[in-house]
């Protein structure tokens, strides 16, 4: 709740800065505000509150809000060097802060109306952010595609919500959960129809196969800075919402949906990784790898045990910080070379050993190789899934991660080829971001027990 | 039959909403004019609203109708943003046919 | 009596909805959609949800559809300019929508026997009840929706505005 309030206030401050002429200090103000929000969020740890029956503040909420706030802070560090549209900067800041507020709503909802509003706040902000480069046709297309798919998926989620309401007479997810356990054998048919529709709608939002095809295009077309936001913060919020919904409402009817999600997860992992192999554009590789990672994270939802929350938290944090540092280097290289092709990374290791090191750490983590955070993220998710007897699916997932090594390492190999490269310069904020991300990735890889112990 | 639903049994409302929703989905998949696709999405949302209102009356619970207000509010916001994006695209390309918008593939 | 109204309005709603999808001229589609919304408003009145009906007419027919019409006129698209879709696409779209409808029809079995959540009460759709629920139970979503409006407002202006400073 406090995180939500501070983010909304920060967003309003960002809008006011245009009127009262303090745009110069706005950026530092936002960074300070985000640090304060993280602090407030940490202070709340251990409390349990229910706000009007609409928002729940428990350890799950606080942990995922923490991930969102931390990723948001790191993302804002990236903004300093890469923001091109100086005229609208305060509007952009306001919208991204409001999007984060929406993400907080998505991880802390206790009522389907809050889930709906959270999804819509995040989605509408992202439609706008994706199409901010008005003269670039790719950005226009990305914004529009995202908009149509998002609105279509929202229609499915809403129809599902309406059917659930018809079956249970409430929007409160805990009451729905109670209803499901009490009427387990005699649930009306419209309840199952509602479940299917919500599942389809949420699968659109998390870009799981076969509802993933919008994601690579949108991720590629949007400005890279916004892609980084979508691939990290939006994904975190969507997965936390997905897990909370299924654990609270639908755990009683697990047998009805687990086969579907299992097939979805397997297909997402295989398709995402194999298509990523065929790409030559680093941004597009990251887009497909983000689809593939959605498949791994579905394993945590399938696990449905006390390890689900913790392993998903770990995975999302590891994935977000690794992706952010990859995106940061991509932005620096793309600013210099003018394209996001893999070949533009040629010779990076000679001239920029620091950047090359950062990319190697990020790629190791995304591929899931020790001693990085990504390895333990996959390890925990797989053990959680195996604990619920998904051995076959876990084998598929392991195959997928072996495939993923090929395309992640392609970039590392390209970096050590050739030496005609000019030096890539990065600003101090980006440098700070890269250092923080790499240190965190390695630290989490060396000491994973702390984070995984947070949520039981 | 429940005496609060006087006009028709609940299942008929569910069927009506389902038909409207399916027509909306059909329109989204069938047409290529972006504005018509967008209108079909509005039709889908209206099917949801009707269903929520029917369930709300059936359960004698006002929260269903309050949810309809939220859907209307969000639909209005979404339309504003969506049409702004459409106008921007039209300015750049002179067309709103979604087939002309498939250039991203590399 | 009201039963006949229900079936008549349902027929109108479905008929106009189908015309929205099938008509070639976008402006006709908008007008059919407005008629469809009016028949849905009639359903709300039959459901004894008068306030909802009024808001529905004001928001959808009055604001949203006028916006659509305005944009269509602005783009001067009031004629058939849409290239025909391939027949495979059409068949696939019809199949998908038909399948969806089939799932729904299969699921309405037993919908009439659904237990009611509360005591039967004919006044739920009245403004007093709705207001009490909105500002008590749904206070927080109401506040949160203000963030949504801020985002939409800023975003629509930012995107819709033509850039004066040319680069």
Whole-number percent of chain A with pLDDT over 70: 99
Contact A98 C118 (CB under 8 A): no
CA C132 to chain centre: 25
Kindly tell me if the per-residue pLDDT of C116 is higher than 90: no
* A232 and A357 co-located in one domain: no
Average the pLDDT over A130-140 and give the result: 87
Q: What is the pLDDT of residue C109?
A: 81
A288: nearest Cα among A301, A299, A272: A272
Q: What is the pLDDT of residue C90?
A: 85
Q: Does B86 touch chain C (CB under 8 A)?
A: yes
Give the residue, C112 or A255, on which the prediction is more confident: A255
- A169-173, A329-333, A347-351: the lowest-pLDDT one: A347-351
B-interface mutation test, from C50, C66, C78, C97, most B Cβ less than 10 A away = C97
* Chain A residues within an 8 Å CB radius of B93: 137, 140
Q: Quick one: pLDDT band at residue C78, thresholds 50, 70, 90? A: low
Comparing CB atoms, the residue among B71, B88, B106 nearest residue A284 is: B106
Average the pLDDT over A112-116 and give the result: 96
Q: Which chains touch C (3 or more CB pairs under 8 A)?
A: A, B
Kindly tell me if the per-residue pLDDT of C61 is higher than 70: yes
Does residue A292 belong to any structural domain of this protein?
yes
* A229 and A327 co-located in one domain: no
- A285-294, A368-377, B4-13, C89-98: the lowest-pLDDT one: B4-13
| Residue C108 to chain A, least CA–CA distance (Å) | 6
Q: What is the pLDDT of residue A340?
A: 86
Contact B103 A137 (CB under 8 A): yes
Q: What is the pLDDT of residue C124?
A: 84
- Chain B 27-66, residues with CB within 8 Å of chain A CB atoms: 28, 34, 37-38, 41, 44-45, 47-48, 51-52, 54-55, 58-59, 61, 63-64, 66
Q: What is the pLDDT of residue A338?
A: 83
* Chain A residues within an 8 Å CB radius of C137: 52-53
Q: Does C140 touch chain A (CB under 8 A)?
A: yes
CATH 1.20.120.1200 fits C1-80, yes or no: yes
The token pair at A186 is 């005699």
A208: nearest Cα among A322, A101, A293: A293
Separation between Cα atoms, residue C51 and residue C56, nearest integer Å: 8
Q: What is the DSSP string of A44-82?
A: TTT--EEETTTEEESHHHHHHHHHHHHHHHHHHHHHHHH
* A106 and A234 co-located in one domain: yes
Contact C159 A196 (CB under 8 A): no
How many residue pairs bridge chain B and chain C with CB atoms within 8 Å of each other? Answer: 243
Nearest chain A residue (CA) to B102: A141
Comparing CB atoms, the residue among B9, B30, B77 nearest residue C93 is: B30
* A277 and A304 co-located in one domain: yes
Contact B7 C6 (CB under 8 A): yes
C107: nearest Cα among A345, B46, A256, A1: A256
Q: Sign of the C-alpha dihedral, residues A42, A47, A49, A55?
A: positive
Q: Which residues of B35-46 are buried (b: 16+ CB within 10 A; e: fewer)?
A: bbbbbbbbbbbb
Per the listing, tokens 């440098």 go with: A431
Nearest chain B residue (CA) to C134: B66
Average the pLDDT over A334-348 and give the result: 85
User: H helices of chain B, where?
Assistant: 10-30, 34-59, 63-93
The dihedrals phi and psi of A341, each to the nearest 5 degrees, come to -65, 155
A368: left (phi over 0), alpha (psi -120 to 50) or beta: left
Q: What is the pLDDT of residue C57?
A: 95
Q: Quick one: pLDDT band at residue A103, thresholds 50, 70, 90? A: very high
Element (H, E) at A1: none
Q: Quick one: pLDDT band at residue A306, thresholds 50, 70, 90? A: confident
This prediction has a pTM of 0.94
Are A128 and C155 contacting, i.e. CB atoms less than 8 angstroms apart?
Answer: yes
Q: Quick one: pLDDT band at residue C166, thresholds 50, 70, 90? A: very low
* Chain B residues within an 8 Å CB radius of A220: 104, 106
| Residue C117 to chain A, least CA–CA distance (Å) | 5
Task: Write out pLDDT tens, residues A396-418.
Answer: 999 999 999 999 998 899 888 87
Kindly tell me if the per-residue pLDDT of A195 is higher than 90: yes
Kindly tell me if the per-residue pLDDT of A243 is higher than 90: yes
| Mean per-residue pLDDT over chain A, rounded | 91
| Residue C110 to chain A, least CA–CA distance (Å) | 7
* Chain B residues within an 8 Å CB radius of C47: 5, 7, 53-54, 57
Q: How many CA atoms lie within 13 A of A444 on its CB side?
A: 33
Domain boundaries, chain C: 1-80, 126-162
Contact C7 B8 (CB under 8 A): yes
Give the residue, C86 or B72, on which the prediction is more confident: B72
The token pair at A413 is 């190999």
* Chain A residues within an 8 Å CB radius of C158: 88, 91, 128, 132
B13-96 adopts what CATH topology?
Helix Hairpins (1.10.287)
A389: nearest Cα among A303, A265, A297: A303
Q: The domain containing residue A405 runs over which residues?
A: 255-456
Kindly tell me if the per-residue pLDDT of A196 is higher than 80: yes
Contact B81 A127 (CB under 8 A): yes
Q: What is the pLDDT of residue B102?
A: 64
Q: Quick one: pLDDT band at residue B1, thresholds 50, 70, 90? A: very low
* A142 and A287 co-located in one domain: no
Kindly tell me if the per-residue pLDDT of B105 is higher than 50: no
Kindly tell me if the per-residue pLDDT of A191 is higher than 50: yes
Contact A141 B92 (CB under 8 A): no
Q: What is the pLDDT of residue A364?
A: 94
| Residue A429 to chain C, least CA–CA distance (Å) | 27
Q: Does A151 touch chain B (CB under 8 A)?
A: yes
Contact C104 B40 (CB under 8 A): no
Are A360 and A369 contacting, i.e. CB atoms less than 8 angstroms apart?
Answer: no
Kindly tell me if the per-residue pLDDT of C150 is higher than 50: yes
Are C155 and A95 contacting, i.e. CB atoms less than 8 angstroms apart?
Answer: yes
| Residue B17 to chain C, least CA–CA distance (Å) | 9
| Residue A240 to chain B, least CA–CA distance (Å) | 22
Task: Write out pLDDT tens, residues B15-74.
Answer: 999 999 999 999 999 888 888 999 999 999 999 999 999 999 999 999 999 999 999 999
Comparing CB atoms, the residue among A88, A163, A167 nearest residue C158 is: A88
Q: Does B82 touch chain C (CB under 8 A)?
A: no
* Chain B residues within an 8 Å CB radius of C2: 6-7
* Chain C residues within an 8 Å CB radius of A103: none
B-interface mutation test, from A116, A158, A214, most B Cβ less than 10 A away = A158
Kindly tell me if the per-residue pLDDT of B101 is higher than 80: no
Domain boundaries, chain B: 13-96
A225: nearest Cα among A289, A291, A137, A132: A132
The token pair at C83 is 């290239």
* Chain A residues within an 8 Å CB radius of B90: none
| Residue B106 to chain C, least CA–CA distance (Å) | 23
C158: nearest Cα among A79, A87, A10, A227: A87
* A293 and A225 co-located in one domain: no
Q: What is the pLDDT of residue A92?
A: 92
* A449 and A419 co-located in one domain: yes
Q: Which chains touch B (3 or more CB pairs under 8 A)?
A: A, C
| Residue C66 to chain B, least CA–CA distance (Å) | 11
Q: Does C155 touch chain A (CB under 8 A)?
A: yes
* Chain A residues within an 8 Å CB radius of B47: 159
Total domain count, chain A: 2
Comparing CB atoms, the residue among A88, A94, A189 nearest residue C110 is: A189
* A314 and A387 co-located in one domain: yes
Does residue A205 belong to any structural domain of this protein?
no
Contact C122 B31 (CB under 8 A): no
Task: Write out pLDDT tens, residues A427-455.
Answer: 889 999 999 999 999 999 998 888 887 87
Q: What is the pLDDT of residue B106?
A: 40
Average the pLDDT over A375-394 and give the result: 93
Kindly tell me if the per-residue pLDDT of B100 is higher than 80: no
Cα distance from N-terminal residue to C-terminal residue, chain C: 66
């Amino acid at each position: 709740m406090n995180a939500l309030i501070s983010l909304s206030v920060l967003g309003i401050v960002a809008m006011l800065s245009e009127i009262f002429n303090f745009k110069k200090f706005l950026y530092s103000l936002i960074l300070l505000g985000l640090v304060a929000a993280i602090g407030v969020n940490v202070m709340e740890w251990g409390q349990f509150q229910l706000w009007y029956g609409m928002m729940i503040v428990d350890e799950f909420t606080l942990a995922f809000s923490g991930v969102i706030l931390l990723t948001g802070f790191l993302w804002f560090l990236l903004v300093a060097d890469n923001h091109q549209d100086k005229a609208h900067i305060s509007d952009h800041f306001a919208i991204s802060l409001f999007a984060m507020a929406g993400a907080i709503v998505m991880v802390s909802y206790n009522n389907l109306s809050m889930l709906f509003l959270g999804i819509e706040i995040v989605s509408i902000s992202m439609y706008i952010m994706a199409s901010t480069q008005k003269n670039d046709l790719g950005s226009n297309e990305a914004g529009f595609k995202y908009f149509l798919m998002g609105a279509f998926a929202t229609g499915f989620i809403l129809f599902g919500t309406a059917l659930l309401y018809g079956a249970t007479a409430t929007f409160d997810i805990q009451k729905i959960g109670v209803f499901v356990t009490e009427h387990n054998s005699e649930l009306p048919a419209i309840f199952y129809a509602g479940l299917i529709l919500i599942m389809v709608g949420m699968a659109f939002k998390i870009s799981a196969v076969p509802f993933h095809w919008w994601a690579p295009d949108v991720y590629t077309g949007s400005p890279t800075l916004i892609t980084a936001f979508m691939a990290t913060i939006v994904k975190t919020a969507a997965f936390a919402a997905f897990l909370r919904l299924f654990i609270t409402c639908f755990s009683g009817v697990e047998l009805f949906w687990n086969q579907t999600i299992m097939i979805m997860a397997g297909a997402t992992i295989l398709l995402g990784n194999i298509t990523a192999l065929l790409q030559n554009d680093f941004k597009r590789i990251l887009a497909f790898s983000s689809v593939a990672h959605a498949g791994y994270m579905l394993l945590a939802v399938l696990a449905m045990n006390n390890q689900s929350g913790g392993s998903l938290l770990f995975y999302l944090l590891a994935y977000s910080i690794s992706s952010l540092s990859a995106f940061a280097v991509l932005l620096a290289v793309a600013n210099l070379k003018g394209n996001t092709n893999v070949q533009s990374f040629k010779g990076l290791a000679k001239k920029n050993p620091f950047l090359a090191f950062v990319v190697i750490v990020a790629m190791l983590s995304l591929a899931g190789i020790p001693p990085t955070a990504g390895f333990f993220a996959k390890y925990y998710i797989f053990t959680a899934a195996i604990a619920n007897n998904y051995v076959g699916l876990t084998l598929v997932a392991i195959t997928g991660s072996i495939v993923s090594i090929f395309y992640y390492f392609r970039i590392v190999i390209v970096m050590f080829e050739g030496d005609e490269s000019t030096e890539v310069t990065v600003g101090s904020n980006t440098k700070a971001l890269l250092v923080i991300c790499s240190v965190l990735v390695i630290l989490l890889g060396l000491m994973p027990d702390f984070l995984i112990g947070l949520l039981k | 039959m429940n005496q609060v639903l006087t006009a028709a049994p609940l299942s008929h409302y569910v069927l009506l909403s389902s038909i409207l929703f399916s027509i909306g989905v059909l329109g989204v998949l069938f047409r290529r004019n972006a504005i018509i696709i967008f209108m079909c999405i509005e039709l889908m949302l209206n099917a949801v609203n009707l269903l929520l209102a029917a369930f709300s009356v059936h359960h004698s619970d006002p929260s269903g109708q309050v949810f309809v207000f939220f859907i209307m509010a969000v639909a209005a916001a979404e339309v504003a943003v969506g049409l702004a994006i459409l106008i921007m695209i039209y300015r750049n390309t002179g067309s709103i046919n979604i087939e002309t918008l498939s250039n991203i593939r590399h | 009596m009201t039963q006949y109204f229900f079936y008549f309005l349902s027929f109108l709603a479905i008929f106009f909805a189908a015309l929205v999808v099938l008509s070639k001229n976008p402006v006709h589609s908008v007008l059919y959609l407005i008629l469809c919304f009016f028949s849905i408003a009639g359903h709300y009145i039959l459901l004894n949800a008068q306030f909802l009906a009024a808001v529905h007419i004001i928001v959808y027919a009055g604001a949203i559809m006028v916006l659509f019409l305005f944009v269509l006129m602005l783009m001067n698209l009031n004629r058939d300019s849409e290239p025909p879709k391939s027949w495979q696409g059409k068949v696939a779209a019809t199949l998908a929508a038909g399948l969806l409808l089939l799932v729904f029809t299969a699921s309405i079995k037993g919908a009439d026997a659904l237990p009611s959540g509360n005591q039967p009460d004919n006044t739920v759709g009245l403004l007093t009840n709705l207001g009490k629920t909105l500002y008590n139970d749904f206070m927080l979503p109401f506040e949160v929706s203000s963030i949504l409006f801020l985002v939409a407002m800023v975003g629509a202006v930012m995107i819709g505005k033509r850039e004066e400073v040319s680069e």
